[in-house]
């Protein structure tokens, strides 16, 4: 058996004057700590300057799109939260919203509000960690610890609500797996107090910190027009001056009833992305605050027994009649359950990293014919070569952490 070949450290032939080390090819990843995941970059360098960068991905490919073609729609929810492991709830919600749009289901007001609160809390969890890791990559280690402390509090909330910290699988088509616990409101408010304080402390540490500013301003800048051509979305696009946010452009779950700003910066560099993320966290807190105030009472699931499972009481009590049992049985029987009509939809949502879209094709059965995810990290990472080429190797670390690439979502 042949050994797999490795890219050797190639050194151009020695010539006089330049000591023979003009051009080097360096492997950056897949095990480098600054990649925060399994990414490999093959970098051709002239001294410290990057001439050419080729990104190699696929180390975490798990075949999610293929697996999902063999699962029912509710089962694919569990697949979706394994994709972006920084904000799994946003993935759950995006999938549920897509299937509901295909079936024409309107979720209950309470369900929509709970989903919005959890999506925005996930956004904060993602952004705060991204900023913390960005600071750590540039030498400010304590910010990473602060960020993790805050995210731990958010994960406690998620655990309290969904029963899991990472593999949340919280949404169901037409509703939620269960209602939020009674101390949810109190817990979120407690987090918001401490979170706001930590974020403003982080701002104080970084905004005018000469080390951070020197290493981020003007680094990895792309124009708004080029960002659109690259398909960049989310904070990266808004940092380049394009005011585009799916929550505003194509409101879902009633986002149009909330007041919030879409923060934009002009420069499109690493510093602008950091600023956009920080400002977005404040906006998310505004949304959470409004949503908590108006959190309506009522059912969390739509009242359609063909889609939603009956509650335990309906199923077990003899006075409930046979119906609960029959509905439960029919939901799980082969050829029954959630069956969208024949057709296809592409439904975008605003995930922390950008536009997370689901392109679903239904052939009328209980399993999707095609289950395609538009992962924001995939398109964002494609622009990495363009942002790093011509810069220093150390700058590429700053650029990479500002892209916030999640390998699980990148490779699916």
- Compute the distance between CA of residue 114 and CA of residue 109 in angstroms, rounded to an integer: 9
Q: Which is nearer to another protein, 101 or 179 (CB)?
A: 101
- In degrees rounded to 5, what are phi and psi of residue 78? -70, -25
Q: Give the interface with another protein as residue ranges (CB under 8 A).
A: 1-4, 57-58, 61, 63, 65-67, 70, 101-102, 104, 226, 228-231, 233, 242, 244, 249-250, 343-346, 348, 355, 357, 359, 361, 363, 370, 372, 374, 378-379, 382-383, 386, 411-412
Cβ atoms of 220 and 270 within 8 Å: the answer is yes
Q: Which is nearer to another protein, 153 or 273 (CB)?
A: 273
Minimum gap (Å) between residue 48 Cβ and another protein: 26
Q: Which is nearer to another protein, 44 or 101 (CB)?
A: 101
Minimum gap (Å) between residue 82 Cβ and another protein: 16
- In degrees rounded to 5, what are phi and psi of residue 158? -60, -40
Minimum gap (Å) between residue 277 Cβ and another protein: 20
Minimum gap (Å) between residue 96 Cβ and another protein: 15
Long-range CB contacts (within 8 A, 24+) of 250-259: 250/348, 252/97, 252/101, 252/347, 252/349, 253/93, 253/97, 253/107, 253/112, 253/115, 253/116, 253/119, 254/109, 254/112, 254/113, 254/116, 255/116, 258/116, 258/286, 258/287, 258/290, 258/291, 259/286, 259/290
Cβ atoms of 244 and 391 within 8 Å: the answer is no
Q: Which is nearer to another protein, 216 or 227 (CB)?
A: 227
Minimum gap (Å) between residue 345 Cβ and another protein: 5
Minimum gap (Å) between residue 314 Cβ and another protein: 30
Q: Which is nearer to another protein, 30 or 320 (CB)?
A: 30
Cβ atoms of 212 and 206 within 8 Å: the answer is yes
Minimum gap (Å) between residue 270 Cβ and another protein: 20
Beta strand residue intervals within 139-298, DSSP E = 171-172, 175-176
| Number of C-beta neighbours around residue 31 at 10 A | 9
Q: Which is nearer to another protein, 33 or 104 (CB)?
A: 104
Tokens of 75: 């089962």
User: Angle at CA 61, nearest 5°, toward 57 and 67?
Assistant: 150
Tokens of 279: 């400002």
Q: Which is nearer to another protein, 106 or 142 (CB)?
A: 106
Minimum gap (Å) between residue 364 Cβ and another protein: 11
Q: Which is nearer to another protein, 85 or 148 (CB)?
A: 85
Q: Which is nearer to another protein, 94 or 242 (CB)?
A: 242
Place of tokens 């779950």: 253
Minimum gap (Å) between residue 394 Cβ and another protein: 25
Phi-psi sector, 370: left (phi>0), alpha (psi -120 to 50), beta: beta
Q: 3-state DSSP call for residue 349?
A: strand
Q: Which is nearer to another protein, 56 or 323 (CB)?
A: 56
- The helix (H) or strand (E) run that includes residue 92 is helix 88-103
| Number of C-beta neighbours around residue 15 at 10 A | 9
Helices (H) and strands (E) in the chain, counts: 17, 8
Q: What residues have CB less than 8 Å from 63, skipping those under 6 apart?
A: 412
Minimum gap (Å) between residue 103 Cβ and another protein: 8
């Amino acid at each position: 058996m042949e050994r797999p070949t490795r890219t050797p450290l190639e050194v151009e032939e020695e010539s006089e004057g330049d000591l023979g080390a003009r051009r080097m090819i360096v492997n950056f990843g897949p095990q480098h700590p600054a990649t925060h995941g399994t990414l490999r970059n093959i970098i051709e360098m002239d001294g410290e300057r990057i001439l050419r960068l080729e990104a190699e991905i696929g180390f975490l490919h798990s075949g999610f799109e293929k697996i999902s073609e063999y699962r029912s729609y509710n089962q694919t929810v569990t697949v979706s939260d394994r994709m972006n492991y920084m904000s799994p709830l946003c993935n759950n919600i995006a999938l549920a919203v897509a299937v509901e749009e295909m079936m024409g289901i309107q979720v209950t007001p309470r369900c929509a509000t709970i989903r919005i609160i959890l999506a925005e809390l996930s956004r904060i969890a993602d952004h705060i960690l991204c900023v913390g890791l960005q600071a750590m990559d540039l030498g400010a280690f304590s910010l990473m610890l602060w960020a993790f402390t805050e995210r731990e509090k958010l994960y406690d909330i998620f655990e309290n609500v969904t029963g899991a910290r990472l593999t949340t699988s919280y949404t169901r088509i037409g509703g939620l797996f269960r209602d939020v616990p009674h101390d949810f409101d109190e817990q979120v408010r407690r987090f918001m107090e401490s979170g706001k304080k930590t974020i403003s402390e982080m701002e104080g540490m970084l905004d005018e910190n000469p080390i951070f500013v020197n290493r981020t301003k003007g680094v990895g800048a792309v124009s708004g027009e080029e960002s659109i051509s690259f398909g960049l979305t989310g904070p990266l696009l808004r940092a380049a001056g394009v005011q585009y946010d799916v929550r505003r452009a194509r409101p879902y779950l009633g986002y149009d009833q909330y007041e919030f700003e879409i923060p934009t910066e002009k420069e499109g560099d690493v510093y602008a992305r950091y600023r956009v993320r920080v400002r977005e966290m404040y906006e998310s807190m505004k949304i959470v605050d409004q949503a908590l105030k108006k959190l309506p009472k009522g059912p969390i699931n739509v009242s359609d027994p063909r889609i939603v499972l009956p509650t335990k009481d309906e199923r077990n009590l003899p006075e409930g009649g046979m119906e609960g049992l029959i509905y439960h049985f029919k939901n799980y029987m082969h050829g029954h359950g959630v069956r969208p009509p024949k057709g296809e939809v592409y439904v975008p949502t605003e995930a922390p990293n950008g536009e997370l879209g689901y392109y679903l094709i239904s052939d009328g059965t209980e399993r999707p014919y095609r289950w395609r995810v538009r992962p924001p990290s995939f398109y964002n990472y494609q622009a990495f070569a363009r942002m790093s080429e011509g810069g220093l190797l150390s700058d590429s670390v700053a650029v990479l952490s500002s892209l916030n690439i999640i390998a699980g979502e990148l490779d699916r």
